[in-house]
Amino acid sequence: MYWNQKYETMPREELRALQLERLQLTVERVYRNVPFYRQRFTEMGIKPSSIRSLEDLRRLPFTTKQDLRDNYPFGLFAVPLSEVVRIHASSGTTGKPTVVGYTQNDIRTWAELIARCLVCAGATKFDVVQNAYGYGLFTGGLGLHFGAELLGATVVPVSGGNTQRQLMLMQDFGTTILCCTPSYALYMAEEGQKMGIDFKKLPLKAGIFGAEPWSERMRAQLEEKLDLMALDIYGLSEIMGPGVAMECRYKQGMHIFEDHFIPEIIDPDTGEVLPPGEEGELVITTITKEAFPLIRYRTRDVTRLVVDPCPCGRTHARITRITGRTDDMLIIRGVNVFPSQVESVLLEFGETEPHYLLVVDRKANLDHLEIWVEVAEHMFSDKVRQLEDLEGRLRERIQSVLGISAKVKLVEPNTIPRFEGKAKRVVDRREI
Amino acid sequence: MRVKQISVFLENKSGRLAQVTRVLGENGINIRALAIADTTDFGILRLIVNDPELAYRVLKEAGFTVSVTDVIAVEVADEPGGLARVLAVLAEANINIEYLYAFVQRTASAALVVFRVEQLDEAVGALQAKGVRILAGEEVYTL
Ligand SMILES: [Zn+2]
């Protein structure tokens, strides 16, 4: 079962020809419409006509999150704002978010790719899709939503949180496809068990789980507890959102939709392209996006590329589970968190050289973030109320910048370990 | 009429108070009065010592977050209602008490109590007007 058989099963030679054609168009477009790219290309002596084969992609410069930040908010858009029909945003490395835009066509493409993902999970128009990804600036909710509608399924746009209501709707509406983060799905499973729900009696058949790293151990738990097929979905807002890649029912990596994206795996230190099968950083070039095309975007996700044929018949290459990051980004409750965001808040509070630590734990399948802050003399007071007030203000500000709640814990000076002069910023105690 | 109080930030974990007293002891500093205010996560140790400047320096050097605050040391008659009378004077003068704690030592007929208030001068004036004795810093440090 495919959503778009022609493209999903296109012979690789033909697919490569299509990729080259689309890459050339994209390079041409960004050269013409995005000053940032024109300047970069010119500095490197590259003209759109320099791209004659897919191998020439390697001659193009990388794009990084820093480049996105430098061009905040709309500097990298390749169309006028009048053509942009939607904006999404994700965490930036400081107080400012990373902003992305979509044209009408981009939204249509996104919906098509999500429809392909849903079909990968065996979904049809007869399914009831409970979409528990957050709606809003985050791409998860609306991304899944439009694809499920395109497929013709019945979408329940419940968004994240409110577990009691999720479980009630799941039973009453006869949810067959559940979309959320894998840790939240496990949390729901356990809450449901406590309430006496027998998931084996529910019509759930597949889960589309993503937005955070997970494992085969979690897959086994999810499939056992919820009695469904648990599949991994990959995406990032910079590239599009969810639906950049999706597992098929053979669960041997996520097919990356190569008619819209060109993946490369690089050595994160040298930038050198690695052969298929080797682990490295995933770099993606978008080849159909209009509003926000990106050339060789460094995702910072660590994975491998598998190009062997898949039993499902899809010819698109697969990426294996994301095993780590090449930067210090954390994913907490599906939300991207950078330690530098916390630092920016502490700087606002008059800290000149803040010493802090993010401690992440997972209790009963829920992520908990604790932020330890060393109490400097200028923050200190002999009054308890004043220190509690400081904790409260820090907590509120951090929550507003990170988009998730965190507990702030004031600690004594020099309690946060320092290694070779460089402070350790993260302790992640989660077992995935 | 002001007494220097040393405040130290302490996490609620064992051994920290002992560490403070060890640092003070090693530097020949005597504790005259002490109180701890704590929450679930942290505590604030408040100290009156014989040499506040030295105490501030050695604790800071030992890596603690320390501050110095002015407080007043008040003689409270050691009899029923003694403290209540002092509190009534301050209430009448509309002076808010942040916190108070007692000295370990005492004089012949009175207990000594440390008051932390925002309006120090007003508090001193009000108390002295009612004949309440306030000890000078030197008197306290050399008790
Ligand atoms: Zn497959």
Domains annotated on chain A, with CATH: 69-326 (3.40.50.12780), 332-428 (3.30.300.30)
C-alpha A428/C-alpha A330 separation (Å) is 9
In the structure, how many helices (H) and strands (E) does chain B have? 5, 7
Residue carrying structure tokens 């044209």: A103
Asked if A88 and A133 count as a contact pair (C-beta separation under 8 A), the reply is no
The confidence score (pLDDT) of residue B43 equals 94
Is the per-residue pLDDT at A56 higher than 70?
yes
Strand partners of residue A305:
A319
Q: Which CATH number fits domain B71-141: 1.20.120.50, 2.40.30.10, 3.30.2130.10, 3.30.70.2740?
A: 3.30.2130.10
**pLDDT single digits (tens) A342-384:** 999 999 988 777 889 999 999 999 999 999 999 988 889 999 9
Residue of B nearest to A377 (CA): B65
CB contact under 8 A, B37 and A384: yes
How close is the nearest chain A Cα to the Cα of B75, in Å?
23
Q: What is the DSSP letter of B12?
A: S
Collect all residues with Cβ–Cβ distance below 8 Å to A274 and sequence separation of at least 6.
A265, A266, A267, A280
Residue from A88, A124, A339, A97 nearest A235 by CA: A88
Query: Which has the higher per-residue pLDDT, A309 or A94?
Result: A309
Cβ–Cβ contact B63 with A under 8 A: yes
Give, as one character, the DSSP assignment of residue A416. S
pTM: 0.88
pLDDT digits (tens, 9 = 90+) for A108-161: 999 999 999 999 999 999 999 999 999 999 999 999 999 999 999 999 999 999
Between CA A400 and CA A397 the distance in angstroms is 5
Domain B3-69 fold: VC0802-like (3.30.2130)
Residue A95 has pLDDT above 80, yes or no: no
Residue A340: is its pLDDT beyond 70? Answer: yes
Residues 6+ positions from B93 with CB-CB distance below 8 Å: B122, B123, B125, B126
For A411, name the nearest residue in chain B, comparing CA atoms only: B11
| Cβ <8 Å between B37 and A409 | no
Q: Where in chain B is the domain with CATH 3.30.2130.10?
A: 3-69, 71-141
pLDDT tens digits along A277-308 = 999 999 999 999 999 999 999 999 999 999 99
| Amino acid A130: pLDDT | 98
Question: What is the length of chain A?
Answer: 432
How far is the C-alpha of B12 from the C-alpha of B43, rounded, in Å? Answer: 6
Q: How far apart are alpha carbons A41 and A25 in whole angstroms?
A: 15
Q: A93: pLDDT confidence band, cut at 50, 70 and 90?
A: confident
CA distance A138 to A140: 6
* Three-state helix/strand/coil letters over A81-94: HHHEEEEEEECCCC
H runs (alpha helix) in A198-293: 216-226
Is the separation of the CB atoms in A415 and B79 below 8 Å? no
The confidence score (pLDDT) of residue A420 equals 62
Query: Cβ–Cβ of B11/A381 closer than 8 Å?
Result: no
Containing H/E element for A388? helix A384-402
Q: Provide the token pair at B47.
A: 């100290």
For residues A340 and A425, give the distance between their C-alpha atoms in angstroms, rounded to a whole number: 9
Mean pLDDT of A248-255: 97
Q: Is residue A421 over pLDDT 70?
A: no
Percent of chain A with pLDDT over 70: 99
B69 touches chain A (CB under 8 A): yes
Contact present, A18 and A25 (Cβ < 8 Å): no
**Selected residue of A377, A391, A412 to mutate for chain B interface (largest B Cβ count, 10 A):** A412
Query: How many Cβ atoms from other residues are within 10 Å of residue B72's Cβ?
Result: 24
Nearest to B49 by CA among B63, B65, B35: B35
Q: What rounded mean pLDDT belongs to chain A?
A: 95
When CB atoms are compared, the residue of B60, B64, B69 closest to A412 is: B64
With residue B110 as reference, give the H or E element that holds it: strand B110-117
Question: How far, in Å, from the CA of A224 to the mean position of ligand 1?
Answer: 22
How far is B11 from A412, CA to CA, in rounded Å? 6
| Centre of ligand 1 from the C-alpha of residue A316, in Å | 8
Q: How confident is the model at residue B140 (pLDDT cuts 50, 70, 90)?
A: confident
Q: Render pLDDT for A153-204 as a digit per residue (tens, 0 to 9).
A: 999 999 999 999 999 999 999 999 999 999 999 999 999 999 999 999 999 9
- What was the pLDDT predicted at A394? 95
- Distance from C-alpha of A212 to C-alpha of A331, rounded to nearest angstrom: 6
Chain A and chain B share a number of CB contacts under 8 A equal to 53
- Backbone dihedral angles phi then psi of residue A395, each to the nearest 5 degrees: -60, -45
**Gap between the Cα atoms of B135 and A419, Å rounded:** 49
pLDDT of residue B109: 73
H/E segment holding residue A383: none
pLDDT tens digits along B92-106: 999 999 999 998 777
Using a pLDDT cut of 70, give the percent of chain B over it. Answer: 99
Q: How crowded is the C-beta side of A280, counted as CA atoms within 13 Å?
A: 21
- The answer to whether A376 and A351 have CB atoms below 8 angstroms apart is yes
pLDDT at A96: 87
Look at residue A216 in the predicted model and tell me its pLDDT: 94
A383 inside 8 A of chain B by CB: yes
Residue B76's pLDDT band (boundaries 50, 70, 90)? very high
Please give the Cα distance from A122 to A248 (Å, whole number). 9
- DSSP summary character for residue B90: H
The whole-angstrom distance between A382's CA and the closest CA on chain B is 6
CA distance B113 to B72: 8
Q: What's residue A353's pLDDT?
A: 78
The answer to whether the beta carbons of residues B52 and B27 sit under 8 Å apart is: no
Please check the confidence at residue B78 and state whether its pLDDT lies above 90: no
Residue from the list B16, B44, B65 with its beta carbon closest to the beta carbon of A413: B65
Closest partner CB to B9 (pick from A375, A388, A409):
A375
Tell me, yes or no, if A13 comes closer than 8 A to chain B by beta carbon. Answer: no
> Residue A325 Cα, ligand 1 centroid: separation in angstroms?
25
Q: Residue A126: which region, alpha, beta or left (left: phi > 0; alpha: psi -120 to 50)?
A: alpha
